[in-house]
Amino acid sequence: MHLFISMINLKSLKTRELICGKPSILIYRGKIMEETMKKERFTINELEERLRGNNVFNIGDVEYAILETSGQVSVILKPNKRNTIPEDFQIMPEYEGISYDLVVDGKVMKENLEKLEKDYLWLTKQVAPFGIKPEEALIATIDGKGNFFCQAKSKNKKERNGT
C-alpha cells in the first residue's frame, strides 16, 4: 500500500496535495494569518512554542512562518534579524570537511581510520598525550582541519556519576 501511495504521489500533484496536504503560511510578511491559524487549528501559544523550537523568541522578528506538511514550522526571519554569514562580508571560509569518530566508547572505528589513510599506530600516538590507549577513550575524533579531540573513559563508578 505504501509503495502504491508513493507512486501516486510521484505522478500527480493534485493527489499528493489531497493525501499529504500542502504547506500553510501562518505568518506572512510579519502578519499572523488568523484565518489560516483557525483552519489549521493552531493556537498562538502553539505558534510561539514552535518558533522557540526554531530559536526565535520574539514573534515580531518573523517575516514568514510556514506550517509544513510534516507538522514542522519553517521560519524566515525579517532581514534585519537574520544571522550574518561570511558571504555578507565577502569572506570565503576555509574548507572544513567533516569530523570522523575514531574511537567510540573504547571501540576503534577501523573503517574511519582507513578512510583517513591512518592506522592503529597513528591513533595510538594521537591518544598518548592524554595518557591512555585508544581502547580507554570514551571518544576520539578528528575534524577536516586535523584537530584531534579525545576524552578518556571514567575509571570508576563514582567518577562516571559525577560525584
The CA-based angle 144-147-151, given to 5 degrees, is: 120
Which architecture characterizes domain 100-160 according to CATH? 2-Layer Sandwich (3.30)
Task: Please determine whether the domains at 18-80 and 100-160 fall in the same fold group of CATH.
Answer: yes
- Indicate the pTM of the whole model: 0.60
CATH (residue range 18-80) = 3.30.240.20
- Residue 57's nearest CA partner among 28, 81, 26, 88 is 81
Q: What is the pLDDT of residue 111?
A: 96
pLDDT in tens, 41-82: 999 999 999 999 999 999 999 999 999 988 999 999 999 999
Reply yes or no on whether the pLDDT at 15 is more than 80: no
Where are the chain's structural domains? 18-80, 100-160
Q: Calculate the average pLDDT of the chain.
A: 90
Q: What is the pLDDT of residue 19?
A: 66
